[in-house]
Amino acid sequence: MNYWLMKSEPDVYSIADLKRDRTSLWDGVRNYQARNYLREMSHGDLAFFYHSNTRFPGIVGLMRIVETGINDPTQFDLHSEYYDAKSTLDAPRWQTVIVEFIEAFPSLISLDLLKQTFSADRLLLVKKGNRLSVMPISEDVAKKMLAMREYQHDKIE
């Protein structure tokens, strides 16, 4: 099993939305490196749900990859902000996955705490200038983050 971190802005799609929906297509990723990470995912991998572009960014929950190798339908939708005119049904550029809700953490694991806990070579998220929306997490870092969810005190807004 592999571990991942996947970002979403909470006003676009939040952990509460995933909890309500139970599963979701993780669409709209338009960065080639992030897309390549999506292509590497396997059924059963775990992903940390990260709220980005918010007053208090951080990890808010956990989800499981339940389906892989899906062509992102937004690339073909003329009305989508993620439409890609260079992508065709015969040669799609963007693939994605379906995720399943596992849990919402009782409190936020804040970006500030992640920066205090992990170096940039251990956690890509804290590397200055990193803006990837999907990234791998090593098993040792993942286990430490899973333990951190138990003792955080900042409630998720």
Write out residues in the chain with pLDDT < 50, as ranges: 154-157
Q: What is the pLDDT, as a whole number, of residue 150?
A: 75
Q: What is the pLDDT, as a whole number, of residue 157?
A: 46
Tokens of 58: 């951080």
Q: What is the pLDDT, as a whole number, of residue 152?
A: 55
Tokens of 92: 């799609």
Q: What is the pLDDT, as a whole number, of residue 149?
A: 87
Q: What is the pLDDT, as a whole number, of residue 129?
A: 86
User: Beta-strand (E) ranges in the chain?
Assistant: 3-8, 23-25, 46-51, 58-71, 95-110, 134-137
Q: From 125, 93, 111, 124, select the one nearest 28 (Cα to Cα).
A: 93
